[in-house]
Structure 1
Amino acid sequence: MIITLGTLALASALFISGKIRSDLVAIGSLVVLMLFQILTPGEALSGFSNSVVIMMIGLFVVGGGIFQTGLAKMASRQLLQLAGTSETRLLIMVMLVTSVIGAFVSNTGTVAVMLPVVVSLAMSARTNPGQLLMPLAFASSLGGMLTLIGTPPNLVIQETLQNAGYGSLSFFSFTPIGLVSIATGIVAMLFLRRFLPKNDEDGDKKHNGRTLKELARKYQLSRNLFRIQVGADSPIQTKTLLELNIPASFGINVIEIRRKTSAKNQFFKTINQEIAGPGTVIQEDDILYVNGTFEHAQRFAETYGLVLLDRQAPENQPPASAERYATHDVGIAEVMLTPNSRLIGQLVKQSGFREKYRINILGIQRKEQYLLHNLKEEKMRFGDALLVQGTWKDIALLAAEQADVVVVGQPVEESRKVTMDHKAPIAAGIMLLMVLLLITELIPAVASVMIAAVLMVVFGCVRNMEEAYKTVNWESIVLIGGMIPMSIAIEKTGAAKLLSEGLVGSLGGFGPIALLAGVYFTTSILTLFISNTACAVLFAPIALTAAVQLGVSPMPFLFAVSIGASMCFASPFSTPPNALVMSAGRYKFSHYLKVGLPLQLVMGVVMVAVLPYFFPF
């Protein structure tokens, strides 16, 4: 028992510190428990064959199909248009729509697909996106309480109840309590939104713009992007970019070359430098788009007898016409790194943006600072917003890669190119079939989810199996599979009985309500520091044993574990959705304390009060 509790304590400390990946901590815990023969190899690996883990994999694939076909974005856009420009109606609609989507897919995926839609809506309504993005993140967690598959802790307590002989929960067992959660969250946010960032008095100057012109102004492209034309007598004609070595000699980067393809076409065809390669030959009348200071661009032009088409522009000059930065083929967009992005900590030159997506990084916004020069040697950090340029097709490919980045600043009229809209009806039919199978219970729940996942791939809602694998958050899967056997060890060694006796001994004398409150708030506090899934896995057997010892139904106590583990709002780093909206909403840690902490406390009080009515002792 001492080894089990010590391993549990160490794992919890490592989860909280975040210095070691959570999946590695889970696997390490299994190894320790096997080495001390507390778990057999079969018991230690049983988590990876658990139906919860298999269902989670299937749900990730189904969610990927819903996102890649644009079904979630299309439905949310139509519903959100009903809100008009009223901030109150907009907040309520955002939270309602997000909650409904969050009932069927992961909260991280829900926020990833809704974030650009909500930012665009805020722009249209002349509302600060910060007024809506934190409610968006919170609503994605609230929506997970609506259905059995809404969030991993729901599946965890279902497994605990089944193993203890209490039967299984239905697909909509959570719905009544979920509706109360959503109603409580919306009402609370209507009062707490006063603490969220408001519109600046000077409006447009600091407005978080997302149109082409606003992005150009925000990143000062008129001051840092220059066009240089190659004349008939220029000595750089017939030379390659590699021979010229422009970045080293002049401190500027040639980000693209535009070349007229025919007299009938008024647009320039963009030839990306990386596509052409270092051996690209400069031709007469080419227009080089260079990124750098005016002085360096001018020196480059004078050295080789080139024509500098742009003059240095004052900072407050209105942005130039959009065609300088974008055509019907080429555009600019703003992207953000996701919390688990593989790009975090990498140098820009190692990111593979050019090699993989044929996209240039023009600038980086880091808090209130804009980095516009010498970007190749800059190391990317979480919270960075990147301004990128490429063809709309390539930007769409980048936007589909939601594991690493989320396209925030892509113009609304181009955002539809990201998804396979013609597959949306098929994805809707598959999702409806999955829900019907889960409701009717004609076949086991895990089979229903796996059938839906396979159909998503077969019918092309997920492009191929490689894309299907990419939709799965494998760190979460390994974490769940590794932590489930921990509950076996806790039960096997009597640790669950010891911990539950402590809860019963300290709170049981005050009645089941006091014990329920203790279970809920202990879980709610712990989930601020470790993942909701790990928290639910650890506390579910403890809550079950405590209820049995007190001689009452374990149902409300296990629901308290699931809800307490999922309702985590007081920290930006406690859940991926909270972290994902932090930079886009321009939030500080204090915003989460002022808004999230009161919401988390209010939610706890309401849940402790209503749980016994839905699930009597």
Structure 2
Amino acid sequence: MIGIPSYHAMAAMAVTVAMFVAFARGRMSIEIISLLTIAVIAVGLYFFPLAGDQPTDGIALAFSGFGHYALITICALMILGRGLVVTGALEPAARFLERIFKFNLQVGLLFSLVLAFVLSMFVNNTPVLVLLIPIFVTLAARGAMPASKTLMPLNAASLIGGLATTIGTSTNILVVSIAVDLGMPMMGVFHFTPIVLAAALVALPYIWLAMPKMLDDNRVELVHESRKFFTRLRVTENSLLNGRELSQIASRLPAGIEFHDVKPGLFRPGQRIKVSGTHEAIEEGIQVMRGEAAPSWVLERINRAHNETGEDIQVVEMTVTADSRLISRTLPTSGIADLYGVAVVGIHRPETLIGQKDQYSDVGDIRMREGDVLLVMGLQHDLESFANGDSLLMLEGRRELPRRSKAWLAAGIMGGSVALASVGLLPIAIASLAGAILMFLTGCVKFDRVGRALSAQVIVLVAASIAIGRIILQSGAAGWLGELLSLGLIHLSPAAVLAAIMLFVTLLTNFASNATAATVGTPIAFAVAAQLGLPPEPLVLAVLFGCNLSYATPIAYQTNMLIMSEGSYDFGDYVKTGVPLVLIMVTVLSAGLAITYSL
């Protein structure tokens, strides 16, 4: 007969349920709910400490998440991902995937899901997601599927891939190790891969076709139309345009770039071409086509100053005011580059001014007017001098150019961190933290910009989830639930026993942690097998599978938290997409285990 749980266990379960309900209702922010959860645990354990503990031990438990290796790992991984973005290291991969998405959005998503699944079979799925997240955020900015519709499916595909081998996740290794300690033979890398592959074939259509439709487009829409800038792009010797016709390179150009008054024939070095596009499209177009939108000597001067000072090159939008000396001048006659060392790479003219007389010089250069918006590139001090000296108003369209000189370095640091963690030479926490330190030391990520890489929402959510996991385990709530489960399995069929164990462990992993689920679930599986006269291996595999079905809450696994801020997800998004996937996987995996082991 099972006893009544302790007061601490009942309180721990009540706090967990209350946190879940608060998340699901969505009336308060995730940060507030997480901090309230930590506060309730700290105050409760101070006045009612666990058996054998001091009041201050409860405070240490409640706030232990802020110094936990899992939180440090997640922050380090965010910094590594930021380093890849700000150096432009992911641009080649992003352009390759962009071409697939341009061919067909659904084909592009399917290719990406299969890629994430296969990589996660052999590489820890956390660094796989770290590599893919910034790529898909970049693709979303370029007009592909919004990140909110791709990151959740990618995360699910990588989690299933990690489930397929014993080395796919650290949780798999933990379960197998505990099982070996309890007397079960060691499993090979692909011991249960066929069962997971069968489940993946059933789950993939849901992840690919249904899940994106269940998620909202969380992109922030601009309330005004993006400005369209015009520039004169000069073809260089190493330009993508050199020796080609426009039709030959059209498919490789970024969305939003338009050519005007192009003469038939091949492009030649020195030729100047009239091009238009948005701020982002102009920047990307210059990079892809390897042309020059300003005199080469001023571009070299800007790059030289950047290398000497380490200051980032910025591209800023500035409006020509009525007092500016630039009115009626063209760029070549303005002397901007000589006076300030900045380069004007584009001009936007409001619709109300288009069509005015004398807006072009004899050689086709635009004469500047009041209200024109200039796209100016340079270092911050020079840009401010230009704005003050020529009576220009700096707008909000400030962007920092990627530090492309460090792209290979950032890619090498990320690759090294992933490799060391994947082959087991270093724990993922140490490998990612060392990589983040190297990103700082080499200048790939700057200390004063680290706040852009980190999400306060994710930080407090991780800390709260760690505190919940510890109180569930130390209060005896997990053990009591396990005893209750064992009592109710006596009258079920073997297949139903497998499904029940898997669902129980899935519940633990989604509200406590993978480690807690593995630590509690594996011994329970052995005990249930002994009581019911079943072989222990399928029940242990049910625990292993359940530990990885962490789709239904953001606190269930660290990659769930990594995608939260980038995809602008709320708690309800995980529930409505994750619960159906959990049910699909439990059903297929339980059937697969029952068939494989003839139960």
**Scaled by the length of structure 2, what TM-score is found?**
0.54
Shift of the 559–83 alpha-carbon distance from structure 1 to 2, 3 Å rule, reads same
Q: How far is 1:473 from its partner?
A: 3.6
What is the aligned counterpart of 1:6 among 11, 15, 22?
Answer: 11
Q: What amino acid is the match of 2:40?
A: G
- 8 Å contact 1:14–1:25 — kept in the other structure? yes
Aligned partner letter, 1:8: M
* Distance across 2 between alignment mates of 1:436 and 1:55: 16
Following the alignment from structure 2 to structure 1, what is the Cα–Cα distance between the partners of residues 579 and 48? 40
1:439 positional shift: 3.5
1:261 partner amino acid: L
Change (3 A) 1:31 1:82: same
Unaligned runs of 5+ in 2: 1-5, 217-223, 230-254, 257-317, 337-348, 356-368, 378-386, 388-393, 530-535, 555-559
Q: Pairwise mapping of residues 340-379 of structure 1 onto structure 2 (< 5 A)?
A: none
SS in 2 for 1:472: coil
1:264 is the counterpart of 2:330: yes
Aligned to 1:188: 206
Contact kept, 8 Å, 2:518 with 2:543, in 1: the verdict is: yes
State the Cα deviation string for residues 487-528 of structure 1 (Å, max 9, x = none). 44444443222101222222354356434423444566798x
Contact 1:51 1:446 in 2 (8 A): yes
Report the CA distance shift for 1:180/1:484 in structure 2 as closer, same or farther (over 3 A).
farther
Distance 1:58 1:580 in 2: 16
| Equivalent residues in 2 for 1:540-579, closer than 5 Å | 540-551=518-529, 552=536, 555-566=540-551, 577=563
Structure 2 residue aligned with 1:114 = 136
CA root-mean-square deviation: 5.6
1:159–1:16 distance in 2 versus 1, CA, 3 Å: farther
Instruction: Name which of 79, 82, 92 aligns with 1:74.
Output: 92
3-state DSSP of counterpart to 1:328:
strand
Q: Which residue of 1 aligns with 2:424?
A: 441
Which of 306, 323, 329 is the matching residue for 2:376? 329
Q: 2:481 maps to which residue? A: 499
SS in 1 for 2:139: helix
**CA shift in 2, pair 1:547/1:507, >3 Å:** same
Task: State the one-letter code of the partner of 2:551.
Answer: S
- Among 440, 460, 463, which residue is 2:443 paired with? 460
- Give, in whole Å, the separation in 2 of the partners of 1:468 and 1:176: 43
Separation (CA, whole Å) in 1 of partners of 2:192 and 2:372 = 50
- The Cα offsets for residues 76-112 of structure 1, whole Å up to 9 and x where unpaired, read as 3223424552344223234345665993448699556
1:86 aligns with 2:112: no
Measured after TM superposition, the shift of residue 438 of structure 1 is 2.1
The SS at the match of 2:8 is helix
Alpha-carbon distance between aligned partners in 2 of 1:29 and 1:525, rounded to the nearest angstrom: 21
User: What are the Cα deviations for residues 27-84 of structure 1, in whole angstroms up to 9, with x where unaligned?
Assistant: 4324423431115545626555544344333323223223333334431322342455
CA distance in 2 between counterparts of 1:614 and 1:477 reads 42
Q: Give the match for residue 28 of structure 1.
A: 40
Contact 2:66 2:463 in 1 (8 A): yes
- TM-score normalised by the chain length of structure 1: 0.53
Residue matched to 2:113: 95
Q: Which structure's CA Rg is the greater one? A: 2
Measured at CA, do residues 197 and 565 of structure 1 come closer, stay the same or move farther in structure 2, by a change above 3 Å? closer
- Residue 421 of structure 1 aligns to which amino acid in structure 2? R
Secondary structure in 1 aligned to 2:155?
Answer: helix
In 1, the alpha carbon distance for the partners of 2:496 and 2:151 equals 32
| Structure 1 Cα separation of the partners of residues 140 and 116 of structure 2 | 10
Contact 1:69 1:461 in 2 (8 A): yes
Note if 1:60 corresponds to 2:111. no
User: Aligned runs of 1:527-546 on 2, under 5 Å?
Assistant: 532=510, 534=512, 536=514, 539-546=517-524
Task: Find out whether 1:603 has 2:588 as its counterpart.
Answer: no
What is the aligned length?
Answer: 425
* Partner Cα distance (1:325, 1:526) in 2: 60
Task: Give the direction of change, closer, same or farther, for the CA distance of 1:261–1:326 in structure 2 (3 Å limit).
Answer: closer
**Matched-pair contact (CA < 8 Å) for 1:103–1:147:** yes
Q: Which amino acid aligns with 2:158?
A: G
| Residue aligned with 2:486, SS | helix
1:103–1:590: structure 2 CA closer, same or farther, 3 Å change rule? closer
1:567–1:600 contact (8 Å) kept in structure 2 = yes
Correspondences of 1:164-203 after superposition (within 5 Å): 184-189=202-207, 192=210
Aligned partners of 2:473 and 2:516 also within 8 Å: no
Residue identity in the other structure for 1:559: L
Give the aligned residue type for 2:584: V
Are the counterparts in 2 of residues 535 and 565 from structure 1 also a CA contact under 8 Å? no
Q: 1:491 to 1:97 in 2, by over 3 A?
A: closer
What do residues 324-349 of structure 1 show as CA deviations (whole Å, max 9, x unaligned)? Answer: 8854339xxxxxxxxxxxxxxxxxxx
| Deviation by residue 1:243-296 (Cα, 9 ceiling, x = unmatched) | xxxxxxxxxxxx9553453723289999xxxxxxxxxxxxxxxxxx99xxxxxx
Do the aligned residues in 2 keep the contact of 1:160 with 1:540 (CA within 8 Å)?
A: yes
Within a 5 Å distance, the mapping from 1:401-416 to structure 2 comes to: none
Distance 1:83 1:582, change over 3 A: same
Letter paired with 1:450: L
AA partner of residue 78 (structure 1) = F
Identical positions, percent? 19
After superposition, the Cα gap between the structure-2 partners of 1:539 and 1:325, relative to the gap in structure 1 and judged at 3 Å, is farther
